[in-house]
Chains A and B, each alone.
Chain A
Amino acid sequence: KNQVEQSPQSLIILEGKNCTLQCNYTVSPFSNLRWYKQDTGRGPVSLTIMTFSENTKSNGRYTATLDADTKQSSLHITASQLSDSASYICVVSSDLAGNNRKLIWGLGTSLAVNP
């Protein structure tokens, strides 16, 4: 069964600290993996998209890694800011038969950055 599991479910850190969020997937066949940031009551905003051949991708203070062999990804946030408080969602795109594609969404990690 195609699944995307994220950990931890929630996380509280102090402003200025770093943190790493995890995403494990069992999706096959794999097309790409995305990380989204979703503020409460708002739509998700894309942070990174990674294909099979990409190991690391950065977007400012956000760095995503992908290990396609172990089917694991991580999102590292450096020098956290209060505005980083949000839900971070991992999404995997799968190329199905007949040129169909499907997105499998994780449940997200809720991050709270406290002053």
Chain B
Amino acid sequence: DGGITQSPKYLFRKEGQNVTLSCEQNLNHDAMYWYRQDPGQGLRLIYYSQIVNDFQKGDIAEGYSVSREKKESFPLTVTSAQKNPTAFYLCASSLTGISYEQYFGPGTRLTVT
């Protein structure tokens, strides 16, 4: 059963703590993406990776970090430097490149208090 998994579904953290969101795909896709979704706003790209061991900043990378050590995995760390971390985070993957159809995971809702 192919697809993208994100865990956990809900995550609660205290302000000042770093937190890592998991994203795994078994679609054999080269490219992976992290988006943030806030009420009343379109999806905003945080980071993307087109190949293992390489990634680029998106539109709102400040306060976030990623790694791409394996093709299947693209974890996102929300650091304490992120001013407004509470949001719905979506991971996606595509065959290669941003023009191709993106497949999304179920999302992780992060709440920081």
Binding site for B on A (CB under 8 A): 4, 31-32, 34, 41-46, 49, 89, 93, 95, 101-108
Contacts and interface: CB of A to CB of B under 8 A. Distances in A.
A105 to B, nearest CB: 3
Main secondary structure of the interface of A (DSSP, over half): strand
A89 B99 contact: no
Contact of A46 (B43, B44, B98, B102): B102
A111 to B, nearest CB: 17
A32 B98 CA distance: 11
Contacts of A95: 99
Interface of B: 4, 40-45, 88, 90, 92, 97-99, 101-107, 109
B107 A43 contact: yes
Contacts of A106: 42
Contact of A93 (B41, B88, B98, B109): B98
Given A31-B99, A95-B99, A101-B99, A42 B41 contact: no
A101 B109 CA distance: 28
25 contacts: A4-B42, A34-B101, A42-B107, A43-B90, A43-B92, A43-B104, A43-B105, A43-B106, A43-B107, A44-B43, A45-B104, A46-B101, A46-B102, A46-B103, A49-B101, A93-B98, A101-B97, A101-B98, A101-B99, A103-B45, A103-B98, A105-B42, A105-B44, A107-B40, A108-B42
A105 B45 CA distance: 10
A65 to B, nearest CB: 19
Contacts of B97: 101
A93 B42 CA distance: 14
Given A89-B43, A93-B98, A102-B98, 17 more contacts: A32-B99, A41-B109, A42-B106, A42-B107, A43-B90, A43-B105, A44-B90, A45-B104, A46-B101, A46-B103, A93-B99, A103-B45, A105-B43, A106-B42, A107-B40, A107-B42, A108-B42
